[in-house]
Chain A
Amino acid sequence: MLWRIVTFELRYQLRTPLFLVSYALFFLLTFGSVTIDQIQIGAPGNVHVNSPYALLQTVAIMNVFGIFVLTAFVANAVIRDDESGFAPIVRSTRITKFNYLVGRFLGAWLVALIVMTSVPLAVLIGALMPWLDVEKVGPLVLSHYVYALFIYTAPTLLVAGAGFFALATATRSMMWTYVGVVAFLVGYLTAQVLLAEPELETWSALSDPFALGSLALETRYWTAAERSTQLPPVQGLLLYNRLLWIGVAAALFVLAYALFRFDAKGAKVRKSRRAKGAETPPAAPYLPVSPRADRRTKWRQFAALTRFDMAFVFKSPAFFVLLALGVLNTLGTLATAVESHGTQYFPVTRAMVEALQGAFTLFPIIIAIYYSGELVWRDRERRIHEIVDATAAPNWAFMVPKFAAIVLVLTASFVVATLAAIAFQLYHGYTRIELAAYLWWFIVPGVIAAVLLAILSVFVQALVPHKALGWAVMLVYIVAGVALSGAGFEHNLYHYGGSPAVPLSDMNGMGRFWIGRAWFQAYWLGFALILLVLAHLLWRRGVETSLRPRLRRLPARLRGAPGRIIAAAAVSWVLLGGYIFYNTNVLNEYLTENDLDEYAADFERTLLHFESTPQPRIIDVKLAVDLYPKQVRAITKGEYTLENRTGMPLSEVHVR
């Protein structure tokens, strides 16, 4: 019986799109890291691409990402019967609680394990690719892959799976389970930072369920040759780590078992509040009121839907948890900004903002992608879409509030992070609070980036036939962006939302760097406006998921305002792009990281033989430097004193 349930769960989940999408994603990501130099997972250093060390590191890091997929499988196994209403039927059969829970869990765990087999498989296949440098590939040793799968992946998935299985059982909510995943990852990363001191290394190695720390500790004195050929023996800290976490997994599963109530969740008995509505009903019969479709009505509809979507987001507990996690994450990063290797620094605003930017790279992306899916698909998931989509409210009145809600959520998180940073400054006795600096350095660029991201993710969700597919597309977009940059395609003109980095200075803030960024922001906002109008035109109404009928209707709908807006946006987008291209590639030389590396290598090759040429030494420097930070100008006057200390006459002096 147990085995039947396991295999049913396997067959069921193996057919879900999530399985295929995640399998492909993990395979491609790993395959890319093996076969393309610019894509790197971890930092294996000078070892074979398929060496045990590189393999284990890749597998362990991918396991961290794998948690998200794993959670979807195990949470689905425990939640779906209640959500689909099938629970009473299943649970009134002769199935026992033990078989039900253990079978479901094992099935879901196996599916996740199968997904993660894509990682070693991709390393194996990747290493066979003909274009790889022969010197970077070691021999194929199958036992390494088996080791990676059973010593690393299987126990890690077991403990994380049991933990989130328990959480899903307790909360009966996918959302709360994912909140737990984010909390867990933030906690994990924080713990790894806090335990990074050498005297805590044992704790660090033991407390890491992904066993990355144990790997680093076991192999830190290994030579490259050893790392390329040997597996860390399953003993000592690594063994204890694995045993410890398998034990924790068992404990968590027992907890889930205890939490799970097999009998139907009793409907909460509400106190009847009928008395409250007991006023006399209107006696007049219903007289139809003619609806209007004027501009004012449309704005009212827009306002009503905005209120509705805002309430959906701001009243959802997930928002507050995400906010709390954001603040936690921020404070962790801020702490590193005022102390480094035992030296204390002032918590100046520049340092605070740099820390905030670091803490808020991934966070807004997750929020935007998550909420776009939730908001766009909410009506359908509540099964009220046939009613609201048959009303006269225009598409944009549905679409724009969702985008606005996401932007507002992100803005709120930026503001809260700023407040946390200010509190942090005050706590450290630093009272020079620069609100304007926070606004212009952190919040405004952050909001602009949020607008771009929100538009893209709402646009994607409006087109795809399923929420999970929309999330997958966004994930591919993020990964593809990283991969393209890695492969030498790094021009901001084709990285959606891309803009040059603006370095901050304590002296003159953003200097003039913000101007370049502003051009790019304008360029991408123009493009985003096109996407926004297209999202309006292609908005899904009713039960349709296919895109084709909407595309067929598109040309006719372009007539009038939408077409004019798209035309104007497209023209300004192209003009801005042309101007930017003229500046980046014509007036200036466009160099990629690769070009710069090559330049540096050339430089070295050409000039290396001058290294030993006898040269005079600088023995004294006197400089008077006048800095004009606002004008980005410096006037330097002074003198260097050079002395020939070689004791021989010099025939040449090189200046560079």
Chain B
Amino acid sequence: MLSLSGVTHIYPTGTRALDNVALEIPKGMFGLLGPNGAGKSTLMRCIATLQTPSQGSIRFGDIDVLAEPERLRAMLGYLPQDFGVYPRVSAYDLLDHLAVLKGIANRAERKEAVETLLAQVNLWNVRKLPVAGFSGGMRQRFGIAQALLGNPKLVIVDEPTAGLDPEERNRFNNLLAEIGENIVVILSTHIVDDVTDLCSRTAIIVDGRIVQVGAPTELIARLKGRVWQKTIPKAELEDYRARMNVISTRLRAGQTVIHVVADEAPEHGFEPVAAELEDLYFATLASTRRRAVAA
């Protein structure tokens, strides 16, 4: 459905935010994973017609997105990473206004759509309050409501669950999963669990380059039996880092737990663990960084 090829974007400051990105994104939920500053938002904006990449082409179905952004906008739902609102405008009025802009001009249809959407994202009780006064989670839910307006064929949500509490995040993910069955949904996030829970396909982006693409299960399969775990004293961490391919460290009950990728147990005390998407993500980041250092 959505295909990107050779998409490169260089900001006037010289930053290469996107470097020759090529992606094929079919129907369903697609997760774009990457650390902060990897180029996720720039890529999202390029697809959402809000930024023209320096080079490359983006097509959605038969639409050349860069040449005819208007046609894509007619079937687009977009939730930016961070957005503001007009002061003193209530949730209902703002959603109504955006519904008109999205092409729902019929008054009865619009009323129906706005009301049911507000109920669906659980903002019904506060619909007459100004959005400017909403908490982060409420504002985010308003954001998803406006992204779903008008039967979009392509939904782009940029770090949607940042700032949501676990319950809200759950509800939000359910909503996405529901709509994601028949259309293209692109979800950018640095929360690996969101991708694990929702996405049938995923890509990992680091420093503007796509370094991994595929179904999460396939990707994880590549690491099968190669992830090892050990609890170590914190002081020995640097030593382990120097000796082996440590992809992640985390604290569990105050103890340092490291994950290492290796074909067999690196030394005594390591035990195998089932690879998760997170391991793949960290392994990818680790290897990309090592390559960057070597280069």
The CA of A392 and the CA of B77, in the complex, are separated in Å by: 10
State the Cβ distance, A340 to closest chain B Cβ, in Å: 49
Within the complex, what minimum Cβ distance (angstroms) separates A281 from chain B?
4
B115 within 8 A of A: yes
Encode A273-302 as 1/0 by CB contact (under 8 A) with B: 110111001111111111111001100110
CB of B87 to closest CB in A, whole Å: 8
Residues of B within 8 A of A301 (CB): 100-101, 103, 105
Complex CA–CA separation, A156 to B3 (angstroms): 62
Known A-B contacts A291-B151, A386-B83; A304 and B104 likewise in contact (beta carbons under 8 Å):
no
> A300 touches which one: B49, B85, B105 (CB < 8 A)?
B105
Is A393 close to B, CB under 8 A?
A: yes
Cβ of B82 within 8 Å of any chain A Cβ, yes or no, is: yes
B226 beta carbon closer than 8 Å to chain A: no
- Least CB distance from B272 to A in Å reads 45
A contact residues around B124 at 8 Å (CB): 277, 281
Residue of A nearest to B127 (CB): A277
B85 touches A382 (CB 8 A): yes
Chain A positions 377 through 403: 1 when the CB is less than 8 Å from some CB of chain B, otherwise 0: 000001110111111111001000000
Instruction: Please name the residue on chain A nearest to B53 by beta carbon.
Output: A549
Main secondary structure of the interface of A (DSSP, over half): loop
Contacts of B84-105 to chain A: CB distance below 8 A: 84-87, 97-98, 100-105
Q: Which of B66-74, B197-205, B209-217, B241-249 contacts A (4 or more CB under 8 A)?
A: B66-74
**Most A CB within 10 A of own CB, among B103, B115, B128:** B103
Alpha-carbon distance between A382 and B87 when the two chains are bound, in angstroms = 8
Query: Which residue of B12, B112, B126, B150 is within 8 Å of A277 (Cβ)?
Result: B126
In the bound complex, residues from chain B placing their C-beta under 8 Å from that of A390 are 48-50, 73, 76, 78
Which residues of B lie under 8 Å from residue A277 when comparing CB positions? 124-129
Q: B52 on the interface (CB 8 Å rule)?
A: yes
Chain B residues near A388: list those with CB within 8 A.
Answer: 98, 101
B5 within 8 A of A: no
Assuming the contacts A282-B115, A289-B109, A549-B52, asked whether A391 and B129 have C-beta atoms less than 8 A apart, the reply is no
A263 part of interface (Cβ distance < 8 Å): no
B51 within 8 A of A: yes
Q: Which residue of A lies closest to B117 (CB)?
A: A286
- Contacts known (A274-B125, A277-B127, A546-B12); A553 close to B67, Cβ less than 8 A: yes
List of B residues within 8 angstroms of A287 by Cβ: 112-113, 116
**Pairwise interchain contact A392-B52, C-beta atoms closer than 8 A:** no
Whether A392 contacts B49 by the Cβ 8 Å rule is no
Q: What's the nearest-Cβ distance from chain A to residue B282, in Å?
A: 30
Expressed in whole angstroms, the Cα–Cα distance for A122 and B93 within the complex equals 54
CB atoms of A281 and B101 under 8 A apart:
no
Assess whether A291 is in contact with B104, with CB atoms less than 8 Å apart: yes
CA distance A463 to B279 in the complex (A): 47
Interface membership of A541, Cβ < 8 A = yes
**Given A277-B128, A541-B50, 17 additional A-B pairs, CB 8 A:** A278-B125, A281-B115, A285-B116, A286-B148, A287-B112, A288-B150, A289-B109, A289-B113, A291-B74, A291-B102, A291-B104, A382-B84, A388-B101, A390-B48, A390-B73, A391-B102, A541-B49
List 3 A-B pairs, minimum CB-CB distance, nearest first.
A542-B50, A291-B103, A383-B84
Q: Which residues of A contact B (CB under 8 A)?
A: 270, 273-274, 276-278, 281-293, 296-297, 300-301, 304-305, 308, 382-384, 386-394, 397, 541-544, 546, 549-550, 553, 556
- 27 A-B pairs whose Cβ atoms sit less than 8 Å apart in the complex: A273-B128, A274-B125, A277-B126, A284-B116, A285-B116, A286-B117, A290-B150, A290-B151, A292-B103, A300-B105, A301-B105, A304-B97, A304-B101, A308-B97, A384-B84, A384-B85, A386-B48, A386-B78, A388-B98, A389-B50, A390-B78, A391-B73, A391-B103, A392-B70, A541-B49, A542-B48, A543-B45
